[in-house]
Amino acid sequence: MTTVLITGASGGIGLALARRYATDGCDLILVSRSRERLAVAASELSRVHVDTIVADLATAEGPEVVAAAVQRTGVAVGILVNNAGAGLQGPFVTTSLDRELELVRLNVGALLHLTKRLLPGMRARGRGHVVNIASVAAFLPGPYQSVYYASKAFVLSFSEALAEELRGTGIGVTAVCPGPTATGFHAAAGVRRARPFRPRSFMTAEAVAEATVRGVRRNRRIVVPALTHRLLVLAIRLAPRRLVAWGSGVASEPAT
């Protein structure tokens, strides 16, 4: 039986992935900083074996709390889903340095730390998969969300490089790059755009989870769940970078 560890699992895409993997009969290790929300998720998913780990991955010690807890249980993690993430909007010159450093610790540091700690076990067993939740933002610069976009560019580049390193080992690496998704992420990040996205254009977390599971089964290195976003990525790759940055800034300009 495959055990799936999911960070940021108490809501949004993380919880949708937990539900999706539970339907396949996978055991789960759910990680979140919210003890109460984790308990609710574990109760809902009681048809499979669920362990929970309370940890704040935006702190320096958070990722090691998770790694140590997994080591104590002796559970072999077959699929690691690095989903936990945060965003921040505003002109870089005025945004909080503390919040930006926290964002980098969560979006980049925790993902790197957990992959480093859990990958050797997969390598020893000759099988496993690392799933890193990135974003369409990984493909372009993001004025007014510069640190968030840059963090997702790291996730994409790291995932592609690691996938190539692990080619032929039985271990896959997939970077999932959804566009705007109907979760609480944008509200938590304080995103208020002058030209807001239409809510009906958002994907559901369930659709992203389904595309993720399908991509992992096919050992895809990059999964962009929506056709419209795949076309956007193609356009971004063909367009001049300065034009891409300008367009991204127009789309991301904060509301005043």
List, by residue number, the catalytic residues: 148
d(C-alpha 189, C-alpha 102), whole Å: 12
d(C-alpha 15, C-alpha 224), whole Å: 19
In the chain, the amino acid numbered 207 is A
Question: CB burial class (10 A; 0-12, 13-18, 19+) of residue 232?
Answer: middle
Report residue 169: phi and psi, to 5°: -95, -10
d(C-alpha 130, C-alpha 120), whole Å: 12
- Which residues are CB-neighbours of 172 under 8 A, at least 6 positions away? 128, 129, 130, 163, 166, 216, 219
Phi-psi map region of 4: left, alpha, beta (phi>0 left; psi -120 to 50 alpha): beta
User: Where are the alpha helices (H) located in the chain, listed in sequence order?
Assistant: 12-23, 35-44, 62-73, 97-104, 111-125, 146-165, 185-188, 205-217, 227-238, 241-252
Residue 27: beta bridge partners? 3
d(C-alpha 21, C-alpha 182), whole Å: 20
CA atoms within a 13 Å half-sphere pointing along the CA-CB vector of 120: 6
Output the CA–CA distances (angstroms, integers) from residue 137 to 146, 154, 229, in the order listed.
10, 11, 10
